[in-house]
Structure 1
Amino acid sequence: MAKLPLNTPDALVTLRREYDIFFSRINTLKDASNYEALRAERYFSDSLQSVETFLDDTVGIIDAPDAELVARFSELQSKASEVGPAVRRLSNSGLSYFALLSDRRRTNVAVTLSQMAVGVTVLLLAMLFLALYLGYLNRQSNRQRIAAVEASHRMNIVTSTSLDAVIVADAAGKILDFNAAAEQIFGYQAGDAIGQDLGALIVPDDHRPGHEAGMQRMRENGARHVIGMGRVQLEAKRRGGACFPIELAVQSAQTEEGEIFIAFLRDISSRIQAEQELVTARDRALAGEKAKTDFLATMSHEIRTPLNGLLGNLTLLHDTDLTAQQSRYIKNMDTSGKLLMSHISDVLDITKYDAGKLLLRPTAMNISTLLQDIVDNQSSAATARGTTLEWAWTSPPVDWIRADRERVQHILMNVIGNAVKFTHQGRITVHVAVANREGGMPEIEFIVADTGIGIDPDLQCQIFDDFTTGDSSYDRNVGGTGLGLGIAQRFVKAFGGEIELESTKGVGSTFSIRFPIEPIAAPGALVAHRKTAGHAPSRAILLVEDNKINRIVAREMITSAGHQVSEAHNGREAVEMAGAQAFDLIFMDISMPVMDGRGATRAIRAGQGASAQTPIVALTANAMAEEQEAFLSDGMNYVLTKPLSRDDLLHVIALHTDNAHGKSSVPQCPTGDVAASSLDELRQTLGAEKLQSLLDRFGREFDALVTRLGNGSAVSLGDVAQTAHRIAGSAATLGAVELRSALLAVEKAAKAQDAGKVDSLVTDLCAIWVTTRPLLQAQNLGNPHS
């Protein structure tokens, strides 16, 4: 710029043009996106900033008039000299950057070429592999072609050697192929069969019109009833004309000669015979199942019979002069015997629960009273273990509800009883709460928490299974059948609820029980007027029993009440004695030698002896309802299940005898009245609380029967008869004699399959129940004579 002459206008134009070019290039470096990465370099950006400063300082000089430009040229030249190093640095850094960028691009190109080389290599290898694979497929195709030829050959061999007959026929029914199995099954040689009409050859004469009609329909409109429908069972005809069962499957195929039909036939004579044998085996299995039921009944009898002797002798022994210690021992033995009876009942009844025959019998109950009774019952056992047992409401109390009291008691007794068993020197709390649920009935929740030994995690998933009593430590310390929690869970589910367990080994367990309830108002206390039972007159009673111990026990129980007892050791002796003497009542054992009780009863009823019309009461250890029903059909009037109690015997005597010698009747009383003596005896034997439970249970059973009778045709009259008979027995035990008579009338009509009469009796039955029920409840709520 120093050498530039400024004495001519062209020189100034050249100067400004070069300055503008320089300015434009610097702006390009500053703003162009191509140089964005270069501007990020600090060395370049600093130099660019210096050049921009120079341009900002000199742009005014360049744009000034010529005279001013000439005057300030030396200043412009000085600034240009100062910025010269920055321009060089700018140029050098740009060159360095682009050189480096070129190196990078060359490297990228080299990498790309390398990748292309690898790709080409892989592609060549793939093509080589593809060529090899195509060769492999070609070889496979050749092998498959050879295999197809061999398969066709084998298929021909299979067809010819098949155990099933294979017959090929054309659309006209002419046989085209007849394999070896067909020859063996039908008795024709292939040469003789081919060309023959299929229907004439193998279709039985009585089926041939149907076969020909089907072939005609197929030819006319293509209707096919057998072809392509899988295997069907028909009959075929052998060469000699004998018919036999076959299994037939027919398919069709198109050939150059037209449509053909391939029939696969199998002689199923052996299978039919096997099925018949299977039916026979099934019948035998059913008979075996019945035998198992009979076995349960027999085992029940065999267990209850000695148990009857044990408990009966304890009853007699209790009436003798005993010391306080002896009385305590007898009481303990009696408790153990009743516990054994409870276990027997649990084992026999468990299948009924699982068979879906569990009927809920809701009744009015006080849940607070029930809980307090259970806590009182378990308190002594808890105290003996140094354990505190308590219960409380955690919500506002809802004392009175409508629920199945017996089963609620069973659930709580098992859960709380288990907590007491497995808790030593600890604490058991029972919390009760009732919560309202939207759109549903209120739900009650019982939380039973203990600080006992806890339950092992591996056992928790099995704790509600039948016969599960815990691990070895449980078994060493406590007893039980392991049915309690299993039955409790069934009852909770029947209520529509659930029972859950949370337990930590060594810390304790918590059972949560929830199910819907129906809160009700507290019922008013009803106390019925009762009559004091008078002294029963002496009766002549025939006792038929082969077991000496049971005979002695029953005789002592009866004679202690002032009655006269004659004894027979088997059914034949009983028939002879009943024919010769008129008895007021006959107690008839069922299982006896020489002649059993059922046969003896039929013989007495069929004869014209002095006791032909005398009431006969079955004495049996058989708890099966269907067997007891059979006893009644033989002519017996009542069934008394062993073990026998003195109160039961005396109650039955009073129930089936009157003042007229040789006559029998049900004691008469006003409609709906209750025999007070019966409830007095039950109260003395069971206690007030157990009697209440018994009355509640009876009410639930009766309500369930009435509900079933209201279902009309949906009810099995046989079941109604059985249920009415069972409840009638309970009514007799409770002294509800008018109700018993009405139930026996329902039973009689149901046995006669007279549905209309059953329906007409329901109204009378309900009317009697309306007056009887308050009296039964009242007898337990207060005793005027106590």
Structure 2
Amino acid sequence: MPATTHMRAKSGLTLLVTAGLLVLAAIAFLAINVDEEITQLGSARSDNVQWSLSQAEVEFLEYARQLDNPTDVVQLTRRFDIFYSRVSTIETAEVFAKLRAHNDAEERIAEIRTFLNESARIIDAGEETILTQSQALKDLASDVRPVIRLLAKSGLEVFSRSSDQQRAEVAQTLTQLAVTLAALIGALFIGVLYLNRLNATLAGRERAQAQTATRMNTVISTSLDAVIVSDERGRILEFNPAAEATFGHHCEDVIGRDIGEIIVPDHLRDAHEAGMERMRRSGERHVVGKGRVQLEGKRASGQTFPVELALQSAKTDDGEIFIAFLRDISKRVENEKALVEARDRALAGEKLKTDFLATMSHEIRTPLNGLLGNLTLLRDTRLSKEQDRYLGYMESSGRLLMSHISDVLDITRYDAGKLDTRSEPVHLSALLEDIIDNQSGMAVENETTLDWGWDGEPMHWIVSDHDRLQHVMMNLVGNAVKFTRRGKVSVTARVDAIDGQNQLRLDVADTGVGIDEDLVDQVFDDFVVGETARNREVGGTGLGLGIAKRFVHALRGTISVQSTPGAGSTFTVTLPVQAATPPALSASVPDLVGTPQALRVLLVEDNEMNRIVARAMIEADGHTVVEAHHGREGAELAESQPFDLIFMDINMPVMDGREATRHIRAQTGPCRNTPIVALTANALASDQTALLEDGMNSILTKPLSRDALRRVLAEYGTEALEEADPMLVNLDHSAETRQTVGEAAFAKLVARFTQEVDDLLAWLGSSEPHDYLEVAARSHKVAGSAAIFGALQLQTTLKELENATRSGDTSAFEHSLRKLPAVWSETKPRLL
């Protein structure tokens, strides 16, 4: 505060002095102007300009009088020359500049110059010419005489006005000088008043500063932080009570001593001294004004401890001072250390959990792969009706177990931030229709109406993640059907443009039991299944909605629910979407009749059960299999023998699949460029990406399925077709249909169905372009007819064709299209 007041007072005085100097400068300038004007007036009288003009007229009259006696040629010439000189002076002298600037005077001078030039030709010609031309000289003189008189008169007028103007300018300058003197006197008076006021203000501020200083001393003395004030040499000036408590020194013992000696630990003393010296020498500062920094301090006992320091500087009359605010943060550092250790333990536990789940995924999927694979192989044998039913139960249980494993892994991936989504064209209408078809059986069983539709203009193709969106909607629709009896479930799709962004809204409304009020806010939590009898009846793990919520959030959307117990529920999913261009099918439909081609396959797998199952599935399609029990054996076989395709397990002893793949790719053996397909139970996307980076071409997730193996075999060069399945037709179902409609009607239906399939095959085999929607529609229609006659394999193949068409999967489309004729040729005789 004192420095601020002093600066303002100094600024006021500087302003007054500056104003006074400006006024004095103005007075000096005006005085110089007055002196110059007076000098100019005196100069004009001394030059006697008017006299010069009059004298020129006198000389002309003398010359004209001499013309009356032209015989005295010498005298005549002398008078002409004198007049000539006077006119030349008028033409060139600076004093006649104002006269020459006058328009009339300029013209008269020009006329006089003409007279002089004409007369000079005669006079300069000699005495004889002068005598003979004397009359011409008289006539010239007579003509110019009025002009000379008017010139003299003009001169009198011009210089008279000039003198008047000079006198007016002198008077104006004197007036300005007087006004300036008055302003100076006024400014001095105002300055006196200002100084008096400033003096009173300074006195008041000094009192305020004294009070402020008292308050500041009180604040410093009562501050919980240690406050130490030192000069620019590092000598302590103030040491508050908090500093005494923090560092263990008494104030009177440290005043005047070096601050480094008192509070800086010995091992930091050299750095402190170097910093002080650098600041004194160059002004460079690393800590001053940089906010709070964490350092070490030293107590009187020599103990070092962590402190938080904030250092500021200030200018005083005695020089620069430094104010240090220090805080003992020993406890905080200990707490932070404990938190870091707890965080590290938590992260380690999270990583351990993720690793555990990944490992358990592999360990569980491995035996599950053997179980489901053997069930698939068992399905190929001839079974009794009761055995077929038991086999179906076992397959359902296995798929349910796999679903639970996938749910847990999905939750883990999301919570670990590793849940990946894909952006691809999705046929939303087909996706919803498939879900409705899938759940229609349960809806009929519950005597519930199930439908779906668009509200407003439909957007069939969108950019989204097909699998994630299908999972969400399957869960919501499945729950709605599961909890609704003798009611209605409706799925409504709507697209609205909000702020230039398309928002997809999917509503799943049911008239079922509803959700209790105390569960509405928890329905998306994990393991929430409710307590009603209906909940217990339908069962469930309580993970479905939790996973659905995670998937929706991963797609940058929201999910919510509104429910009334006993009246039903409405789940709403809102997602930002973009319209997608439908993927085009191949312009040329592949031949419907393919030539089977056997592949030589290397199967690298350490689990015996998995090898047995995979080998049986591959050999069932006519391919040759060579087995390797670990990665090194597989790499050695790949170096010595050619193979068309390699199936490589990942977790194996001796050498794992990744290392074996890198080894094969790095060698120059016959399998260096052979496609390698990873077999893994680990579904984490990051791990799968690493497998592809190692040189693998694609990935198959365990447990393996026959369809998945066949798709891979087809993708990498096989054109083999599925062999005839002895259970192509469910004969019991076919017999039941025959009995229901009668023998004659059944024969007509079979004939009609046969023609329908033949027409579809003929149309698909034609060269005309095929629209994907029409292919999907006709396949869907024929698949429905196949279900009536129990043609299970034909129905499955047509559904595969439909799904591949709707999703734009060209490879799967071509594979299903190649299978269809063979399946039909085996199915057709069994229907008759």
State the TM bucket, normalised to the shorter chain: 0.5 to 0.7
Structure 2 partner of 1:211: 276
C-alpha displacement of 1:238: 10
- Partners in 1 of 2:714 and 2:819 — Cα distance? 24
- Partners in 2 of 1:250 and 1:442 — Cα distance? 55
> Aligned to 2:374, which of 295, 313, 333?
313
- Partners in 2 of 1:296 and 1:338 — Cα distance? 19
Residues 316-372 of structure 1: per-residue CA shift (max 9 Å, x gap):
1111111233334333433443343333333323455574966574636363x5555
TM value normalised by structure 2: 0.51
> Aligned to 1:630, which of 681, 687, 690?
690
Structure 2 partner of 1:417: 478
Residue 315 of structure 1 aligns to which amino acid in structure 2? T
| Mapping 1:77-156, distance limit 5 Å | none
Structure 1 partner of 2:234: 173
Contact 2:418/2:686 (CA < 8 Å) preserved in 1? no
- Partners in 1 of 2:260 and 2:286 — Cα distance? 16
Structure 2 partner of 1:588: 648
Contact 2:552/2:558 (CA < 8 Å) preserved in 1? yes
- Partners in 2 of 1:521 and 1:541 — Cα distance? 38
Residues 612-639 of structure 1: per-residue CA shift (max 9 Å, x gap):
6654432211112222233334444432
Contact 1:525/1:781 (CA < 8 Å) preserved in 2? no
Residue 341 of structure 1 aligns to which amino acid in structure 2? M
Cα 1:560–1:348 change in 2 (3 A) is same
- Partners in 2 of 1:168 and 1:435 — Cα distance? 69
1:375 aligned to 2:436? Answer: yes
Cα 1:511–1:562 change in 2 (3 A) is closer
> Aligned to 1:545, which of 605, 608, 613?
605
| Mapping 1:37-116, distance limit 5 Å | none
- Partners in 2 of 1:249 and 1:502 — Cα distance? 55
Residue 540 of structure 2 aligns to which amino acid in structure 1? G
Residue 623 of structure 1 aligns to which amino acid in structure 2? A
> Aligned to 2:405, which of 344, 359, 368?
344
Structure 1 partner of 2:139: none
Contact 1:526/1:778 (CA < 8 Å) preserved in 2? no
C-alpha displacement of 1:690: 5.8
| Mapping 1:599-678, distance limit 5 Å | 599-605=659-665, 614-653=674-713, 655-656=715-716
Residues 265-295 of structure 1: per-residue CA shift (max 9 Å, x gap):
5687998899789768766655554443322
- Partners in 1 of 2:673 and 2:461 — Cα distance? 47
1:735 aligned to 2:811? Answer: yes
1:598 aligned to 2:598? Answer: no
Contact 1:398/1:519 (CA < 8 Å) preserved in 2? no
| Mapping 1:453-602, distance limit 5 Å | 453-489=513-549, 500-511=560-571, 528-532=588-592, 534-578=594-638, 581-602=641-662
Structure 1 partner of 2:425: 363
Residue 174 of structure 1 aligns to which amino acid in structure 2? R
- Partners in 2 of 1:632 and 1:494 — Cα distance? 24
Identity of aligned residues (%): 51
Contact 1:526/1:777 (CA < 8 Å) preserved in 2? no
C-alpha displacement of 1:428: 1.1
Larger Rg computed on CA atoms:
2
> Aligned to 1:248, which of 309, 322, 331?
309
Cα 1:468–1:248 change in 2 (3 A) is same
Cα 1:246–1:547 change in 2 (3 A) is same
Contact 2:481/2:489 (CA < 8 Å) preserved in 1? no
Cα 1:249–1:516 change in 2 (3 A) is closer
- Partners in 1 of 2:495 and 2:533 — Cα distance? 38
Structure 2 partner of 1:323: 384
- Partners in 2 of 1:520 and 1:598 — Cα distance? 37
Structure 2 partner of 1:53: none
C-alpha displacement of 1:552: 1.2
Cα 1:647–1:449 change in 2 (3 A) is closer
Contact 1:432/1:444 (CA < 8 Å) preserved in 2? no
Cα 1:357–1:242 change in 2 (3 A) is same
C-alpha displacement of 1:650: 4.1
- Partners in 2 of 1:782 and 1:560 — Cα distance? 18
Cα 1:683–1:507 change in 2 (3 A) is same
Between 473-482 and 300-309, report the one with greater CA deviation: 473-482
- Partners in 2 of 1:482 and 1:393 — Cα distance? 28
Determine helix, strand or coil for the equivalent of 2:691: helix
C-alpha displacement of 1:496: 7.8
Where structure 2 has 5 or more consecutive residues not aligned to the other structure, the ranges are 1-213, 720-769, 771-775, 780-791, 825-832
TM value normalised by structure 1: 0.54
Determine helix, strand or coil for the equivalent of 1:430: strand
Residues 571-597 of structure 1: per-residue CA shift (max 9 Å, x gap):
344445555555444322222234333
- Partners in 2 of 1:505 and 1:199 — Cα distance? 75
Cα 1:683–1:242 change in 2 (3 A) is farther
- Partners in 2 of 1:614 and 1:621 — Cα distance? 23
- Partners in 2 of 1:401 and 1:578 — Cα distance? 44
Contact 1:397/1:433 (CA < 8 Å) preserved in 2? no
Contact 2:425/2:582 (CA < 8 Å) preserved in 1? no
Contact 2:247/2:300 (CA < 8 Å) preserved in 1? yes
C-alpha displacement of 1:459: 1.2
Cα 1:782–1:406 change in 2 (3 A) is farther
C-alpha displacement of 1:411: 4.2
C-alpha displacement of 1:308: 0.8
Cα 1:233–1:780 change in 2 (3 A) is farther
Contact 2:648/2:676 (CA < 8 Å) preserved in 1? yes
CA-based RMSD of the aligned residues comes to 5.6
Structure 2 partner of 1:54: none
Determine helix, strand or coil for the equivalent of 1:623: coil
Between 451-460 and 602-611, report the one with greater CA deviation: 602-611
Determine helix, strand or coil for the equivalent of 1:628: helix
Contact 1:406/1:696 (CA < 8 Å) preserved in 2? no
Determine helix, strand or coil for the equivalent of 1:632: helix
Contact 1:363/1:696 (CA < 8 Å) preserved in 2? no
C-alpha displacement of 1:248: 2.7
Residues 230-256 of structure 1: per-residue CA shift (max 9 Å, x gap):
643357799999999754345789999
Cα 1:556–1:271 change in 2 (3 A) is same
Residue 811 of structure 2 aligns to which amino acid in structure 1? G
Contact 1:435/1:442 (CA < 8 Å) preserved in 2? yes
